[in-house]
Amino acid sequence: MKELPQKLPVHLGIIMDGNGRWAKKRGLPRSAGHAAGAQNFRKITRYCSQIGIRYLTVYAFSTENWTRPQEEVSALMRLFRQYLEEALRDFRDDDIVVRFLGDVSAFSAPLRELITETQELSANRSGMVLNIAMNYGGRAELTHAFQVLARRVQEGSLRPEDITEERISSALYTAGQPDPDLIIRPSGEHRTSNFLLWQSAYAEYVIMDILWPDFRPADLDAALREYANRSRRFGGI
């Protein structure tokens, strides 16, 4: 294995895409692809923590995913619950802070309780911050942030002219975190899919023609090397 570059992204985003196609290629139900993707998610998360990534944001379930067949949505909800139960049981020794981005109010009461318990138990850890985007959409996040700021204006605690980019950032789900430096999209699709729209303004993208369940630490290493060779100018020269 080639040595990792010294310049690693502080904040890495991953759009976990291709589970359904992975299953279809093997003649399996889509739920089998999601199960394989969930297993790979745990492996890649631990690897990111081991190599020194400080923030990892994964796209697990979008606001648009509710339109999928009910059977598939139900299977995903079962997987989320299983993952959280395993995280509470098996990740106690992992120095990973777990946070959730999105409107979790749409989930069942037992799943919401697991989300709260997972966040509370990991809050005092000092290692990598893992953001799991569930029922998340970039437009929905911005709408929520603007509503928060509008209420402050209505209450008189904020003037419209004081709404800056920094204040908008502070009203997002990722408040207090740096913007992503690198976003990886396995599966070969060339679109953002409503992921971290505000935060990714200057993020580097690496598109890889690998379905998510087949994405390995070596593939992540390759993306990190490509990122290290990029020249990031943030609009300058």
Higher pLDDT, 232 or 36: 36
Q: Averaged over 63-75, what is the pLDDT?
A: 87
Decide if 197 is inside a domain: yes
Q: Averaged over 75-102, what is the pLDDT?
A: 82
Instruction: Provide DSSP, 5-35.
Output: PS---SEEEEE---HHHHHHHTT--HHHHHH
Nearest CA to 56 among 12, 97, 7?
12
The domain total for the chain is: 1
Decide if 145 is inside a domain: no
In our burial notation (b when 16+ CB lie closer than 10 A, e otherwise), range 86-99 reads ebeeebeebebbbb
Cα gap 195→58, rounded to integer Å: 9
| Residue spans of alpha helices (H) in the chain | 19-25, 30-51, 70-90, 109-122, 138-155, 165-170, 217-228
Residue 90 binned pLDDT confidence (cut-offs 50, 70, 90): low
Decide if 236 is inside a domain: no
Contact 228, 7 (CB under 8 A): yes
Tell whether the model's pLDDT for residue 100 goes beyond 80.
yes
According to DSSP, residue 52 is labeled T
The CA–CA distances, whole Å, from 10 to 5, 25, 154, 179 equal 13, 35, 36, 9
Higher pLDDT, 87 or 31: 31
CB atoms within 10 A of CB 154: 9
Is residue 17 among the annotated active site residues? yes
Beta bridge partners of 14: 58, 184
Decide if 224 is inside a domain: yes
Decide if 160 is inside a domain: no
Q: Determine the pLDDT at residue 91.
A: 63
Decide if 61 is inside a domain: yes
Token pair in block for residue 206:
């690496």
% the chain with pLDDT above 90? 69
Higher pLDDT, 187 or 207: 207
Cα gap 179→200, rounded to integer Å: 7
CATH of the domain at 51: 3.40.1180.10
Tell whether the model's pLDDT for residue 1 goes beyond 60.
no
Is residue 65 among the annotated active site residues? yes
pLDDT in tens, 6-57: 899 999 999 999 988 999 999 999 889 888 998 999 999 999 999 999 999 9
Tell whether the model's pLDDT for residue 5 goes beyond 60.
yes
Q: Averaged over 188-196, what is the pLDDT?
A: 93
Decide if 133 is inside a domain: yes
Token pair in block for residue 3:
């040595």
Decide if 167 is inside a domain: no
Tell whether the model's pLDDT for residue 82 goes beyond 90.
no
Q: Which residues constitute the domain of residue 132? A: 11-137+180-228
Tell whether the model's pLDDT for residue 237 goes beyond 60.
no
Higher pLDDT, 89 or 163: 163
CB atoms within 10 A of CB 32: 18
Contact 33, 19 (CB under 8 A): yes
Q: Mean pLDDT for the chain?
A: 91
Q: Averaged over 150-160, what is the pLDDT?
A: 97
Q: Which of 65, 103, 194, 219 is catalytic?
A: 65
The secondary structure element, H or E, covering residue 136 is strand 129-136
Any idea which of 22-36, 69-83, 84-98 has the lowest mean pLDDT?
Answer: 84-98
Token pair in block for residue 25:
């290629």
Cα gap 32→37, rounded to integer Å: 9
